[in-house]
Amino acid sequence: MKKGKKLYEGKAKVIFATDNKDFVIQHFKDDATAFNNQKKAKIEGKGVLNNRISEHILMNLNQVGIKNHLVKRLNMREQLIKHVEIIPIEFIVRNIATGSLTKRLGIEDGTILEDPLIEYCLKNDELGDPLISKEHIYTFKWATKKEIEKIDKQLVRINDFMVGMFRGVGIKLVDFKVEFGRIKNNGKTDVLLADEISPDTCRLWDNKTDKKLDKDRFRNNLGNLINAYQEVAKRLGILHEQSNIQTVNFEKPKAVKNKK
């Protein structure tokens, strides 16, 4: 499929048109950002790892009935994805209290939540992605009640699957952020998971040591971000050579079973 003009550039990805209006190409950059783009750096190889990890997770979600925008990985940095209308909301699912939740509410860092907590933020960098309620969503028509109800159910299923998947490789899924989009399906509008899922968008802690294996290594100046992302890929069984990120060999994606 022919790559066309740039349609959108975000903090970590670039979206390009194709010669088919139903599909676009998503390019993963090496840019690392934090605190609403106030902290920036370029970390060589990050985009390659995020592309591969996200492909693996989205493919496995598809295997258990969680439909998403991924069509296929094209190369080390790009995916062919379905063209959707992004809903302007970031959906956050929390299993363990940390980050902004602990700062806002004074909850002790590392507190295990009895049930997953779903939060909604308006997708707007200029406003700092503010926390919003369902009433805000319905009042300003960012999404319908039917859409949010369906997304909430999807979030619970996504979380349940990923908690089991990561637990099976010795990692705690602390929290994650995803976005959804609208897509035409047999003449009707449906909502679809339409975001990467990677150490950029999840908090992942080693099960025994609580060592951070995610973007908090960049946020909190912990260093060794690439090594942490490689460790996640290695445990998922998709990275078996860690010598050089540009020459690393990836296995073909394999479906995994949700381990409770």
8 in any annotated domain = no
CB 28 within 8 A of CB 41: no
The domain containing residue 202 runs over which residues?
A: 86-206
* Grouped pLDDT means (10 residues each) for the chain, 260 residues: 92 95 97 84 95 98 96 97 97 97 96 98 94 98 98 98 98 98 91 97 98 96 95 90 43 44
Q: Rounded to 5 degrees, what are φ and ψ at 210?
A: 65, 20
Please give the tally of structural domains in the chain.
1
114 in any annotated domain = yes
d(CA 74, CA 167): 29
180 in any annotated domain = yes
161 in any annotated domain = yes
Q: Which helix (H) or strand (E) holds 11?
A: none
46 in any annotated domain = no
57 in any annotated domain = no
Our CA angle for 21, 149, 23, nearest 5°, is 10
255 in any annotated domain = no
Q: What is the pLDDT of residue 240?
A: 57
CB 122 within 8 A of CB 204: no
Q: Which helix (H) or strand (E) holds 163?
A: helix 145-167
CB 83 within 8 A of CB 23: yes
Q: What is the DSSP letter of 260?
A: -
Q: Which helix (H) or strand (E) holds 52?
A: helix 46-63
What CATH number does residue 188 fall under? 3.30.470.20
Q: What is the pLDDT of residue 38?
A: 77
Q: What is the pLDDT of residue 243?
A: 38
d(CA 155, CA 117): 10
Q: Which amino acid is at 6?
A: K
CB 131 within 8 A of CB 94: no
76 in any annotated domain = no
